[in-house]
Structure 1
């Protein structure tokens, strides 16, 4: 009985692992940094708006999935943070339709104020973010957040007073 022939390199399975393209690797790294930086703040915002913490986690997950799938396009936009913030708002609105707000003040804020003003109050008053940090998170300039807080103070002083600046 003859022994089987030794395998040659030609018979060896060929695997081709192309190195990642630098632009894609950089985009992946950029998205990862964006998600790592913003996920905790997005989660705090969603938890403040929604009654169920599990729903908040789902909303943030859906938002970051949107960002990941559209990351290359987002990078071509004037403010990726603003576009992702708009998606988070959309996801939270959908979540609000399925659950009641965490508290009555949230419902009043979003019923009586422009959405950016209400978001500014939530981020700065309820979550304690500084104006600059809230602006960066929402993809706005700090004066826009300050203007939103001013609108809130005039319209609903009992809900917007004491906002840290």
Structure 2
């Protein structure tokens, strides 16, 4: 398993009851696992690889849950970890999907992720923003930038849904 980007061994200033923390993580994982898996499958060449990436990300998040809860936006931290895990294992998939290759070569990661989530996978704008741990306006701006840079790729994808 590749290393994660979460700091380890850094206690938080106020420890949360472990039972409550585990329940919070369980709810987070239950809500996000299917969505993370859809994203990973869209970017990786195999179901097994995408499942492994999501599980590695969630194990890392669980191991660092106390630290994550002390961050301004835990969802953004976990999304960054998922993206790192996908990037490490996605070289062959990018080569097999020329649209993804262009997206991730020509756009910043957040813009390319916004296109994948909203245009390719059909997530509503607000749901994509929640998943990435950003404001909906950031996803909207990323999609607008992507349309300017790659209009032929972005416009032909699924329509944008705000809700």
Fold conserved between structures, TM > 0.5: yes
Displacement of 1:158 after TM fit? 1.4
Displacement of 1:53 after TM fit? 1.2
CA RMSD of the aligned region, Å? 1.4
Q: How many residues align?
A: 144
Q: Deviations over 1:72-119 (max 9, x none)?
A: 11000000000000000000010113x332511011100000100000
- Indicate which of 83, 93, 117 corresponds to 1:100: 93
Contact map agreement 2:43 2:93 (CA 8 A) in 1: no
Higher relative contact order (CA 8 A, sep 6+): 2
Aligned to 1:109: 103
Aligned to 1:78: 72
* Contiguous gaps of at least 5 residues in structure 1: 1-21
Aligned to 1:164: 160
- C-alpha distance in 2 between matches for 1:34 and 1:120: 21
**Do residues 30 (structure 1) and 34 (structure 2) align?**
no
- C-alpha distance in 2 between matches for 1:31 and 1:100: 30
Aligned to 1:122: 116
Contact map agreement 2:44 2:90 (CA 8 A) in 1: yes
Q: TM-score, normalised by structure 2?
A: 0.85
Q: How does 1:6-25 map to 2 (within 5 A)?
A: 23-25=17-19
Q: Deviations over 1:117-156 (max 9, x none)?
A: 0000000001110110000000000000000000100001
* Contiguous gaps of at least 5 residues in structure 2: 1-15
Which structure would you say has the larger Rg?
1
Where do 4+ consecutive residues of structure 1 move more than 4 Å?
none
Displacement of 1:163 after TM fit? 3.6
